Homo-oligomer: A and B are copies of this chain.
């Protein structure tokens, strides 16, 4: 309850610095690819989803975004032709975001830039053990931030089909399978 210890203050201050600097820096290195870091994450989430289609709320969870924000970003990507919206046939309230062929291309094109940025700004300074520690620490903190585990803290972005991941107890949102065909393979 008392004061923060000195080493705690140092760790928090550095984390704070990271929070201020990393997002901007990542986005800056992605500008040549024409996508923000968030847009890339979004498109990647779609590309890993079944048929490149996900409901807005599912996409919001996977990208750790609020729904209003996601809605606007999807609109923007729609204007660029990388994504299409389509009503969900199962649930009239729901909307699906669907990756177009151009969207898949954009993802493939941006991938080298993105991986390069991540490597040069984050991973290159760490050895294998550090990477494990980073994964553990971030998970610890995220778990406190999001006790319901509603967000993408499990294996998000790891593999599309991931067998070993029990903690998805109450699947909160699902995607809507049947929709306009021929948009993306």
Contacts and interface: CB of A to CB of B under 8 A. Distances in A.
Interface residues on A, range: 35 or more
A176 interface: no
B157 A144 contact: no
A141 B22 contact: yes
A4 B118 contact: yes
Interface of A: 3-4, 6-23, 25, 37-38, 41, 63-65, 115, 118-126, 128, 130-135, 137-146, 151-153, 155-159
Given A3-B115, A125-B144, A19 B23 contact: yes
A138 to B, nearest CB: 4
Contacts of A135: 7, 10-11, 14
A13 B20 CA distance: 17
A107 to B, nearest CB: 14
Say how many copies of this protein the assembly contains: 2
A13 B64 CA distance: 10
Contact of A64 (B21, B63, B130, B138): B21
Given A10-B157, A19-B22, A20-B64, A124 B142 contact: no
A121 B144 contact: yes
Given A137-B134, A137-B137, A13 B144 contact: no
B143 A12 contact: no
A153 B6 CA distance: 14
A122 B12 contact: yes
Given A18-B19, A125-B143, 11 more contacts: A6-B158, A7-B131, A9-B157, A12-B122, A13-B152, A14-B139, A17-B138, A17-B153, A18-B141, A121-B141, A122-B141
